[in-house]
Structure 1
């Protein structure tokens, strides 16, 4: 089946988490397609993930997700998502992130006689913090290796599909400063929560960004205050103030944000902690890079990504991961989201090459 045709069919199925547009119909389509075209064991787990297996030996998983962020109004056509083929690209919600590479993985999975056990997994809820991936891991999903089909094209050079051996995570925190309300005409009668929050922000500004290296590639994190909310009226000393902090984490490191709690009346709440990813097997990364080189004219490199993916959850659970996908920087989550059809077909070829030769014994 043609990669563009399959991607169009999959993209047209609404799959954002809102009312009747959740991921069930897309998951049904994927599972039915695999059952009709392969002799693999295909199952839907309790979370709605689609997981298929064939072959024996060390396991390699081709991993994606079939949920998307809510579409722009221009990306809706009746009860479906709009999909348009133009100038060698497919346009529509989910083309780049990441139904195109789910389709590429489906085709590779169906066509390949794997060297070991080949696993296909398409998760739900990636856009909500990895809900599906985490549920699968809790249910025992533990492949030895994984190629995650998030975007890795255009990092080293325009149009080149690279191999991401690491990516940052994201920790979202809230600094909560509490004080005592008073009339603003007598500020000394209270404790100003905004002042305490400002003292905590000064602590954040002095925090060193975390850094590490993965397979010889440097990875630097960041910390930024992004929102502040406090006070109830212009003439009242505020008794509460909250400050949002966005931290991009790196493998094995976290910024010491707990230092803000040295300020009187200040506490730190962790709201989200999406783990970073680091590939721990150089031979696996090199093998995928070789497969990527054989599938294109450009010269792929090993790179690092700034964005968190489900690869972080898998790596945290012990799977050696790389990220290889068609999406280019800046394509995902936009009103004119699109993906190159040729690069989708390239990713299908890369996934197939890796599955045919990787059985975990190369290293």
Structure 2
């Protein structure tokens, strides 16, 4: 019989979290060392583990399974990358966890190595239980810069024929149950014109002018999207939004700008809105802007780079993942969040998904990021109850 106490689990989890914080897994630097550490740890306790690298080899996804080799079960999902600490006024070393006044300080404590540490802490207990369905661990790279790791991982799950029945994404939600958020699609559009002397503007192709016309189309589309809001949409605002973040170009007052760059985003409430915006922009570019530009300069161009297209998590009437987490947390309802997560990617491959994790998003990305010890304790208890439930059979 396992005689591990809640105090023992919490102490072990804090120790493991400190070890994870010591890996400076800023997205630009990679997460390989941390992931290999977790893979070895999970393998040693009996989990079935596989990892997959990105193209550089510096970043790894990890997928591990405890329990029977069958469909169903639950994914516990977390990302291992963190945002930079450059120029942030930390009062302690961000990569050396410290505990003060019931709070654990360090980069990634709440976003979201605390959840990862809690999952791995509970892994030996999952191994000891006679699970009827598996518990999977999915730890990814590059969530902070576009959910690229989760995109690769979900593709791998489809290719390998792995079919979990639910996914719990442990982003910081103060252990509240979250079943919805908008998507986040980010783009950079580049405009190439023809430089010339400002005294003869008709002899050049002014890249900024065409960027401005493109931007005004985005403003027009932003208004049109308000009328496309789904009936009874729970999001605030209830329609897809568009924001222009930065417009740059040109070199001097008296030079026709040959280059311009527009950074913009949209946050879809439904996939059809993204398709609508793209189609309208393509018609503008191919039917109007480019023909005008190329009359004067055949090499003129407009091209758009996809920075990230992160699917939203759409609230669903039937969501066994949400119902499961409500049962093991005691929460009576589910809410929405304004920030994006990897949850929508799991939902997009037909895995019911929900967000529930320790800590508050209000502490994420800031100097002196912290996780309340009480939140970590609640997460461990939730995972313990999840293990008990999966001993008895199906999710619900």
Q: TM-score, normalised by structure 1?
A: 0.84
Structure 2 residue aligned with 1:275: 311
Is contact 2:51-2:61 (8 Å) kept?
yes
Q: Does 1:54 align with 2:66?
A: yes
What residue is the counterpart of 1:157 in the other structure? none
Normalised TM-score (structure 2)? 0.77
User: Which runs of 5 or more residues in structure 1 are unaligned?
Assistant: 154-160, 294-298
How many Å apart are 1:202 and its aligned residue? 1.6
Distance, in Å, in 2 between the alignment partners of 1:90 and 1:333 is: 15
Q: How many residues align?
A: 345
Deviations 1:297-328 (A, max 9, x none): xx563112222222222222222111111131
| TM-fit CA distance, 1:250 | 2.6
Cα distance in structure 1, aligned partners of 2:361 and 2:387: 26
What SS does the aligned partner of 2:263 have?
strand
Corresponding residue number in structure 1 for 2:33: 25
Name the one with the larger helix percent.
2
- Is 1:238 the counterpart of 2:274 in the alignment? no
Residue aligned with 2:144, SS? helix
Which of 309, 329, 344 pairs up with 1:292? Answer: 329
Find the aligned partners of 1:191 and 1:46 in 2 and give their Cα distance: 43
Shift of the 221–108 alpha-carbon distance from structure 1 to 2, 3 Å rule, reads farther
Q: Which residue of 2 aligns with 1:137?
A: 154
Structure 2: 5+ residue stretches without partners = 1-8, 55-59, 291-300
Return the match for 1:111 from 108, 118, 125.
Answer: 125
| Partner residue, 2:240 | 221
Between the aligned partners of 1:270 and 1:179, the Cα distance in structure 2 is 17
**How far is 1:84 from its partner?**
0.8
Match of 2:294 in 1: none
CA RMSD of aligned residues (A): 2.8
Cα-to-partner distance string for 1:213-238 (whole Å, 9 max, x where unaligned):
89x74354321111111223321222
Deviations 1:252-285 (A, max 9, x none): 2434333244242384514121221235443431
Structure showing the higher strand proportion among its residues: 1
Q: In structure 2, do the counterparts of structure 1 residues 175 and 44 end up closer, same or farther at CA, with 3 Å as the change threshold?
A: closer
Contact 2:319 2:353 in 1 (8 A): no
For 1:1-363, what aligned pairs fall within 5 Å after superposition? 1=9, 2=11, 3-18=13-28, 22-36=30-44, 38-47=45-54, 48-56=60-68, 57=70, 58-72=72-86, 81-112=95-126, 113=129, 114-140=131-157, 142-153=163-174, 161-207=175-221, 208-209=225-226, 211-212=229-230, 217-218=234-235, 220-255=239-274, 256-258=276-278, 259-261=280-282, 262=284, 263-265=288-290, 267=302, 269-271=304-306, 272-278=308-314, 280=316, 281-293=318-330, 301-357=333-389, 360=394, 362=396
